[in-house]
Amino acid sequence: MEIQHVFHPHNLVFIEDHGIASKAAHCFMCDKPVEDWSYYSCNQCESYLHKRCAEAARKIWHPFHPKHPLTLLPKSPYSEGRGICDLCGKAFRRFVYNCHDCKLDLHINCALLQSSIAANFPNSLHPHPLFFVQNHNNEVESDCSGCQKPISGPFYHCSYCTYRTLFNLHKECAELPLEINHPCHGKHPLTLLPQPPSHPQKCGCSLCRIQWKGFVYSCSLCNFELLLDDLFSRPPLTDASHEHQWMPILRKMSFICDFCGTAGEKFPYFCAACHLFVHKNCISLPRQIKITRHCHTISLSYSLKQNQVEDWMCKICYKEVDISYGHYRCPASRCLYVAHVRCATDEAIWDGTIMLEGYDERSEEVVQEPWNLITDVVEQIIIGELMVASEIKHSYHDHNLRLTFSGKTKDDDSQCDGCTRPLSTPFYSCEQCKFFLHKVCAELPKQLPHPFHKHLLTLSNSHDEDNYSSCSACFRSYHGFGYRCYKGGCRFRIDIQCMLLSDTLKHPSHEHSLFLVHNNKGTSCSACFRKLRSRDVAYRCMKRCDFSLDVGCATLSLTAWYKYDRHPLTLTYLDHYELSQLYCDLCEKKREPNRWFYYCVDCDNSLHLNCALGDLPYMKLGNKIEDIGHQHRLTVVKNIWNCPPCKVCPELCNGQALECKEFGCNFTIHWACCRSSYFWDSIW
């Protein structure tokens, strides 16, 4: 059976045998695997479509939004090219049910979930009606507004509270009694509140310290609050990693947790035999974990025995570790790696995987294993005492590649197809087509851990539907190779330049070593002065210098070239000119004081960073860009002498730009201009 689908140009054939498609095959509408589902397949372009997605109506009336119908769109209707689903809170770029008038969006998977109106939900907990969803097929990953834990199983959803104010509630949390009597507070009954009552400014209670925003049971007469975790009676706890029982202390007290070394002002658990006070959550701390910030597994230690080394420094936050309390350390001999418990188990550092007792970490040494290489050696030669591969077959190219030691190529602007940097020896080249790979790029392993991300990363040369990718570390757009995360819905990507960075950096702009920090909220980059967000990784000086570098500035080339200068320009960090002389010699616009720039000391030429490097330093010249708002595909070009005006700004497109190569279509645009809201407003 064949069908013609409105969102696909070719005929689709119905497939009944689930075993035909590979595990990597995904539905082009919902992006879910097609295995174990009925689906359609395209024989011309290897596209797949679930049967249920193919039958999805173009317009639906959804109970979450009864005012207007929702229309199925093939891509995001917003100028920035992405949006957020108002049920699950995940980002989307393609295939969404949308209400144009109300700006409401639902993933196709979320829109097809079955739901029903919930009756008799108390207004004291939430003012809007709720919908009950029995099975969400793991689409919703937001936290429950009651217990602040991830949604799992049946839940209630508020369709009035959209992204950033999502209200989802576990079925168990929605059915909590509005008033209880509890042994921890026998004087008065406790009332269920949707959020903690107001506390005085600078309050030091545990709720204010953790900034709790979920449900609490409260006694307004005594200013007593009880979290849902502490709702029921607290029996003694046992854990396989500790030989004694943990007894609950049913009163608030100040203490230092002997497992994580942080202060607590709540109800601790106590081991009378060992005289240890711990947080409840710390009882089940994993005894052995693996993080990408260290090459070995690290083990939890809470022994009170002092080590011979006096100054222990956490290798994640680079603050002192008091080893009289719990900490993670590397058990390998002569390895002095140590980390705070909170640092090592931070969700940005650790992926939650627990290493079992007796785990042999040698089984995870992936870098040099044959299955982790994507290059087959065809021919070898001997150079000195080394055996070197002179001809290889690379998985990402159809033809064999020959090793070249000559510095000249057929094209002076040749770039490596892996890292897109200007070609330098030694490199591999294809004799049948213009394909070049630096030797280092050709030898990249298939999988690698990286300190920027908690999951294992996989080498990829595939890009988004626009035919380019954006690095999650430096935020630059790039062609060529990159590493990406395929874990669940994780969309982390990193280009080759950023992949070469480690967790420490010695940069010529600063006298001290810089260290990788994951949470940089409230700080700014000392080079470009960009305010960093909490999810941005950056390098920071730990010697109270207040110096930070974001990844984009940390990876700037130390030299650049200018067409009117025969010398290389050097990346310069301090400016000794008067304000009236701060100009860029290329664009002739002012330079901001204290901003980095490129400078030739011989010719006294100064250039903005972007003027020297261009907007697209990691994009390959000649490559096509899809879906940029123009009727034709645009080509990445580099204009040096003949610089046409931009169709938007309309300043000259000097350096890298996007150009339409169709006959008679004189369209050229800056990369920054094609990303601007003005450009998108004009084409809509």
Closest by Cα among 226, 122, 123, 225 to 177: 122
Asked whether the whole model's pTM tops 0.85, one would answer no
- Say if residues 395 and 443 touch (Cβ distance below 8 Å): no
pLDDT at 311: 65
Q: CA torsion 290→293→296→297, rounded to 10°?
A: -20
Beta-strand ranges (E) seen in 317-425 are: 327-329, 338-339, 375-383, 386-394, 400-404
* Cα–Cα distance measured from residue 170 to residue 153, given in angstroms and rounded to the nearest whole number: 7
Q: What is the 3-state secondary structure (H, E, C) of 620-660?
A: CCCCEECCCCCCCCEEEEEECCCCCECCCCCCECCEEEEEE
Output the DSSP codes for 61-129: EETTEEEEEEEEEEE--STTS-EE-TTT--EESEEEEEETTTTEEEEHHHHTS-EEEPPS--TTT-SS-
* Whole-number pLDDT of residue 310: 55
> From CA 328, how far away is CA 326, in angstroms rounded?
7
d(C-alpha 630, C-alpha 201), whole Å: 54
Instruction: Please choose, from the candidates 579, 580, 600, 582, the residue with its C-alpha nearest in 3D space to the C-alpha of residue 590.
Output: 582
DSSP string, 593-614: TT--EEEETTTTEEE-HHHHH-
Please check the confidence at residue 681 and state whether its pLDDT lies above 60: no
279, 268 contact by CB (below 8 A): yes
Confidence of residue 251 (pLDDT cuts 50, 70, 90): low
Residues in contact with 107: Cβ distance below 8 Å, sequence separation at least 6, in sequence order: 30, 85, 87, 88, 90, 92, 95, 96, 97, 139
Percent of the chain with pLDDT strictly greater than 90 = 25
Quickly state the pLDDT bin for 429 (edges 50, 70, 90).
very high
Tens of pLDDT, residue by residue over 536-557, are 999 999 988 889 999 999 999 9
For the chain, give the mean pLDDT: 83
Q: Which residues pair with 237 in a beta bridge?
A: 246
**CA nearest to 459, candidates 513, 412, 496, 497:** 496
Location of structure tokens 């044959």: 370
- 114-128, 158-172, 285-299, 304-318 — which is least confidently predicted? 304-318
Alpha-carbon separation of residue 347 from 6, 144, 341, 429, 519 (angstroms): 42, 18, 12, 42, 11
pLDDT, residue 410, reads 43
pLDDT of 66-110, one tens digit each?
889 999 898 888 887 888 888 777 888 888 899 988 888 888 878
What does residue 620 show for φ and ψ, rounded to 5 degrees?
A: -85, 125
Give the N- to C-terminal CA distance of the chain in Å, as an integer: 38
Judged by DSSP in three states, 268 sits in: coil
**139 pLDDT more than 80:** no
Please report the pLDDT score of residue 305 as a whole number.
47
Q: How far apart are CA 531 and CA 534, in angstroms?
A: 10
Q: At which residue do the structure tokens 């204009």 appear? A: 639
CA–CA separation, 441 and 457 (whole Å) = 16
The residues near 395 (Cβ < 8 Å, ≥ 6 apart) are: 374, 375
Q: How far is CA 528 from CA 335, 519, 522, in A?
A: 37, 18, 15
Q: Report the amino acid identity of residue 633.
A: R
Calculate ∠ Cα 628-632-637, nearest 5°.
75
Q: How many CB atoms lie within 10 A of CB 37?
A: 16
Compute the distance between CA of residue 228 and CA of residue 143 in angstroms, rounded to an integer.
14
563, 565, 571, 576: CA torsion to nearest 10: -130
671-676 average pLDDT score: 77
Contact yes or no for 337/294 (Cβ under 8 A) = yes
Per the structure block, which two tokens stand in for 207?
Answer: 């709720």
Q: Are strands 253-256 and 263-266 parallel, antiparallel or unpaired?
A: antiparallel
Distance separating alpha carbons of residues 212 and 424, to the nearest angstrom: 55
Q: For the chain, give percent helix, strand, coil, nearest 5.
A: 10, 30, 60
Please choose, from the candidates 196, 331, 314, 330, the residue with its C-alpha nearest in 3D space to the C-alpha of residue 260. 314
Q: How far apart are CA 180 and CA 164, in angstroms?
A: 31
Q: Which of 265-269, 318-322, 525-529, 553-557 has the lowest mean pLDDT?
A: 265-269
CB 314 within 8 A of CB 338: yes
Query: What burial class does residue 77 get, using C-beta atoms within 10 Å of its C-beta: 0-12 exposed, 13-18 middle, 19+ buried?
Result: middle
Complete DSSP assignment for 458-509? EEE----TTS-EE-TTT--EE-S-EEE--STT---EEEHHHHT--SEE--TT
Each residue's pLDDT tens digit, 151-209: 888 888 888 887 677 888 888 888 888 888 765 666 788 899 888 887 777 665 656 65
The pLDDT assigned to 680 comes to: 46
Give 33-57 pLDDT, tens digit per residue.
Answer: 777 567 888 888 888 888 888 888 8
Residue with tokens 């590493």: 483
Find the DSSP H helices in 310-467. Answer: 341-344, 439-442
